[in-house]
Amino acid sequence: MMKNICNIGLAKECHNLLQKRFLVRVVESADDYKATILQDKLVLAKFSASWCKPCQKAKPVIEELSNELPHLNFIDVDVDNLPQIADEEGVKTIPFFKLFRSGKLLDEVTGNLLSLLINTSYLSRYQFTLTTQLFIIHLVVIIYFTNNI
């Protein structure tokens, strides 16, 4: 399939597709979660569940963000598999996002805001990109203030 795309004059699109890497790691244990958020690197934790439709709609947005923001660690915590982590973190609704550096909570975003943006976009390509850009702007503001405190 990739060769066919490249052969019909879509070399740039082929290159872009091959360069994409989605780096959202699924957290396997409480120890894994704690070790990850303690890193001296920005970590965006997404709390979700496989049955949650808004979580599934948020998934491609987060995957795209992971490609556009490679300096962040992106992790996915399944609240059904790791309920103790969800409880410790005070997760009451999903999807729910928390941004950490060195174990310190920098910000959190309820999934309702992201879900509203996704649902009102009708998932068209232009609006989907706009949704991603809005979320990136939110993260960039957080990162800016975090680095300048």
**Active-site choice (37, 45, 55, 82):** 55
Which residues fall within 8 angstroms of residue 23, CB to CB, at 6 or more apart? 66, 67, 70, 73, 74
- Between the two ends of the chain, the Cα-to-Cα distance in Å is 48
**Is residue 6 annotated as a catalytic residue, yes or no?**
no
Q: In what order do the strands lie in the sheet with 73-78?
A: 24-26, 73-78, 42-48, 96-101, 104-110
**Is residue 14 annotated as a catalytic residue, yes or no?**
no
**Active-site choice (27, 52, 58, 114):** 52
- Give the catalytic positions in this structure: 52, 55
